[in-house]
Structures are given as C-alpha cells and as structure tokens.
Amino acid sequence: MPDIPWQVFAFPFLFVGVIAFAAIYKWLEVRAAANWPSTTGKVVASGTQVRKVKTFDDNKHGGRGEEKRNFANVVYEYQVSGYTFRSNRVTIGEDLGNFEVAETIARYPVGTTVTVYYNPRRPREAVLERDVPKGMWGCVIWMVLGGSAAILIGFYGFNQITEYMRGVLSVPKRAPLVVALVTFGIVSCWIGLAIRKHEREAKRWAKVPARIDRSEVETFRGTMSKSNDVQTLYRPLIRYSYSYNGLNYFGDQASLNAKVTANFSSVAKRKVAKFPVGSTVTIYVNPKNPAESTLKPSSFGLWIAIIPTAILWGLAWFVSQVP
C-alpha cells in the first residue's frame, strides 16, 4: 500500500461509515416493524403537501438551512383497542420529499381500505408499507464495499502515477501536486458535464403555467465560498405554484442547479423584479418527477465544466514546467 498518512484515508472512509451507520439504523427499524400487528384502516385524505426540510447550506452561518419540498400527504384512519388514530406516514423508508409524489397518491386515493401496521407500544406510530424498496440492501452493500474498494484502489493508483511522474518531471518532489491538480480537474470536468447533461434534459421538460406566490430578496448572515468572514448576504427568493396531471405542486428553483448568492443586493433585486407576486409565468416540469421544476432550465453547467478544469490543468502544467 502507498505510504500515506492514516488521516488521509480516514476522511473518505468517514462517508462510507455514515452510509453503513444509516443502513444499520434503518435495518433495526425495519426489523422492529416486521413484528408490528396490523389492522384495517381507511384513507381519508390524499394529496400534495408542502413541508420544510432541513438542508445543508454552505453560505449560511452554521452551514444549515431549510427548504420547502413537495410530499405526498396520505392521511389514513384506523382503530386500536377502541381508540381512533390518524397517521400520514406511508413507508418505513425515509421520505425526503420531491420523489414519487404522484405515484404514492395514485396508490392511495381517498376511500381506499388499507392495511395499517402499528407499533403496539405507541399505536400512533404506524405505516402502510413496512418493507424497504426491493434491492435497497443490495445497493447499500455495493455502496459500502464498492466505495471502500474505490478508495483503496484510488490511493494505490495515485501513488503509482505519482511514482511514475517523479521520473518524468524535472523537479520530482512536485509530482504529488501535479497529479492532484490533474485529478481535481478531471473531477471538476465530470461534475460540470453531469450538470450540463441535466440542463439539456430540462430544456425538453413539459412547459406548464405557474403563479408567482412569493418574490423577494432573502437576507441572511453567512460566508462566501472564498472567505470565512461572516457578512450579510443576499439571495433571490422566488416561489411559485403549479398543477400537473391534476395535482398541485410548489417550486422555488429560479435557475436549475444554481442558487445565486452575493454580498450585494443588486443582483438579487434584478432577479426578483422579473417575477412580481401574482404574475403568471411558464415553468419547466420534469414529466418523470413532476415535483421537480424550474423557471430557467439552464445555469452555468458548461462553464463549470470548462473554467475550473482549465484552471486546474493550467496550474498542473505550470507547476510541472517551473524549474
């Protein structure tokens, strides 16, 4: 194995460990639910619902933020020991929103008789589907084993390429930096091309009318990517509502794959001015997942692929050539 400090290995393996921990926690939850008794229930409400979800936000102070997402809100009623309960949890799996909203509602229309699995110790805790999606455990195992193998192979390959470059460069000690810059350039190019592909697909999404419900400049304390100084930042906050195939949805993607944040308000103000509250606009909706939508189906994917990659590869060439 390459002579690399253990701390370098620890960081990528931390992500693999998080995946493994989450899988074990979910397995214990599924195992417990497998012994829950069942009763008959009835769906009393079925539609879309907007809920707040905690997210990571690099710009906001503390790195935490929140966003609103579309959820399938299937409310069912059931009885246990003569008491009537209501719940809207469908599956034992985690629902992060904006995923299979229409499909879930279609499975459980109002009036449907359902089998409800409930926790005998806490009857208010119940689900309609206590089995995880087919193939999920296999995916998790492959992610953990494959991720671990990829990390080890990646470090080994980095070491081998570095040793080769030591014999090629005029200053051998710069080989690790040159290889690292080239590698980061490849990763940057791959990410940019993936974003670009998503943008090209979004341009072919269904065009749907939407109503602007909120349009304002969001002001918050945070940091820019190149600075650790906490300052006042500005971001356009544009939220709209729309209907697709008879269901109502909410969206706030002004630009696909991008959130414009700046330490001056003029950019956000210009963006907000284009979308006054109450106006009707045309948005792009993903027909495969109608909960995903955007006002503008393109951002900066091509430039993300070109500019950082060119800079990193240019630095690699410069470092390799300087005596």
Least Cα distance to 240 among 206, 262, 217, 213 occurs for 213
Checking if the pLDDT of 214 tops 80, the result is: yes
Identify the pLDDT of residue 162.
78
Range in 12-26, 111-125, 175-189, 226-240 the model is least confident about: 12-26
**CA 274 from centre of chain:** 27
Checking if the pLDDT of 186 tops 60, the result is: yes
Give the alpha-carbon dihedral of 170, 171, 177, 182, to 10 degrees.
Answer: 0
Quickly list DSSP for 9-64: HHHHHHHHHHHHHHHHHHHHHHHHHTT--EEEEEEEEEEEEEEEEEEE-SSBTTSE
pLDDT digits (tens, 9 = 90+) for 5-59: 555 556 677 777 777 777 777 777 777 778 899 999 999 999 999 998 888 777 7
- Give the other-Cβ count within 10 Å of 87's Cβ: 19
Identify the pLDDT of residue 1.
45
Residue 296 banded pLDDT, cuts 50, 70, 90: confident
Range in 145-159, 183-197, 276-290 the model is least confident about: 145-159
Residue 174 banded pLDDT, cuts 50, 70, 90: confident
User: What mean pLDDT is predicted for residues 121-148?
Assistant: 76
